[in-house]
Amino acid sequence: MTREGWVEAHAYLQPVASLCAAVERAAREMAIVNAETPSWDDYDGDFRAGVPLVRSEGAAIDRKPAGAAAASLVAKLAAERSPGNFAADAALLDQALRRETHGARRVVDWLLGEDDFAPPAPGLMRYLGWTALARYLSPVVAAFDKRRNDELWLRRYCPTCGSPPAMAQLLGTDPGRKRLLACGGCGTRWQFPRTKCPFCENDSQKLSVVTVQGEAGLRIDFCVPCGGYLKTYDGQGDEDLLLSDWTSLHLDLVAHDRGLKRRAASLFALDWASGADA
């Protein structure tokens, strides 16, 4: 499945698709530096205690370069002629970051929920900030995936960055089918009990499912006690496309129409994602 084919079949995704493409291109052109791999031994105690890698003092991941990359990405997009309100919002963000002492550092702390920074266009800031941070962290995420014992984590937040999941993926066949939760921020996927709700932690084995015809294995799993839902990819091979969240924004509308609540993290709580401004 190609991105072009998917967007062609879901024309309402076109505005968000072109903006994602513009941001990804800008990020690619910037050659963002990568985080250094931490000492896993220095992190091990924190891992067992449930502290995500990026928040661990033992792992000591340097946040500064990620903040600088996020600020540069904002500045680059502010200087470009992008569609809709996108460039205008990027310009507002650029001004706010320049005004702020330690603005770049504060953005990263804010993305990680540790700073009360209040940027204009917070939805766009979140999306651009995570785009930079995910690229910065990508080799560390890959190394952590190989190294981590997921059986010792099984928590409802991302082992790398601490975000709640954006989506989920089902792997394998019964018995022994596994569920992974997918971080919309840093891109980590980690194991979580299959029948447990990652929002209220109810383990009633009552996660219910809405299947949607013709959606390449995407479905909506929801929890009856709390009404939270998680879009779930029941397949393999198209993770990059189908777990990127924006490619299934229409399923959020289906869930909303059924009275379910999006309790998953979202980078796409953006006015322009609806197409209204584009």
Q: How far is CA 80 from CA 12, 77, 104, 153, 264, in A?
A: 24, 5, 20, 42, 32
Q: Would you count residue 166 as binding Zn ion (CB under 5 A)? A: no
Report whether 273 contacts 246 (CB < 8 A): yes
Binding to Zn ion by residue 70, rule CB under 5 A? no
**Based on CB atoms, which residue is closest to Zn ion, 233 or 272?**
233
186 binds Zn ion (CB under 5 A): yes
Q: Does 92 bind Zn ion (CB under 5 A)?
A: no
- Using CB under 5 A as the binding rule, whether residue 197 contacts Zn ion is answered as yes
Q: Which of 66, 223, 242, 265 binds Zn ion (CB under 5 A)?
A: 223
Which token pair is 218? 């995407």
Under rule CB under 5 A, residue 13 binds Zn ion: no
Residue among 103 and 162 whose Cβ is closer to Zn ion = 162
Find the shortest distance in angstroms from Cβ 269 to Zn ion: 17
Residue 131 lies near Zn ion (rule: CB under 5 A): no
Q: Which residues contact 94 (CB under 8 A, 6 or more apart)?
A: 71, 74, 75, 78
Widest Cα–Cα separation across the chain: 56
Q: Which is nearer to Zn ion, 72 or 160 (CB)?
A: 160
> Smallest distance, Å, CB 260 to Zn ion?
11
CA–CA distances in Å: residue 229 to residues 183, 192, 217: 15, 15, 16
Q: Does 218 bind Zn ion (CB under 5 A)?
A: no
Answer yes or no whether residue 254 interacts with Zn ion by CB under 5 A.
no
183 makes contact with Zn ion (CB under 5 A):
yes
Binding residues for Zn ion restricted to 136-165, rule: CB under 5 A: 158, 160-161, 163
Q: How many residues bind Zn ion (CB under 5 A)?
A: 15
Q: Judged by CB under 5 A, which of 148, 185, 221, 222 binds Zn ion?
A: 185
Residue 247 binds to Zn ion (criterion: CB under 5 A): no
Beta strands in the chain (DSSP E): 167-171, 178-182, 189-192, 207-211, 218-223, 228-233, 261-262
CA-angle at 63, arms to 59 and 64, nearest 5° = 140
Q: Rounded CA gap, 82 and 79, in Å? A: 9
With beta carbons less than 8 A apart as the criterion, state whether 87 and 79 touch. Answer: no
> Among 9-17, 29-37, 82-90, 188-196, which window interacts with Zn ion (CB under 5 A)?
188-196
The yes or no reply on residue 266 touching Zn ion (CB under 5 A) is no
- Can residue 188 be called a binding residue for Zn ion (CB under 5 A)? yes
- Residue 10 to residue 57: CA distance in whole angstroms: 44
Is residue 273 within 8 Å of 121, Cβ to Cβ?
A: no
Contacting positions for Zn ion (CB under 5 A): 158, 160-161, 163, 183, 185-186, 188, 197, 199-200, 202, 223, 226, 228
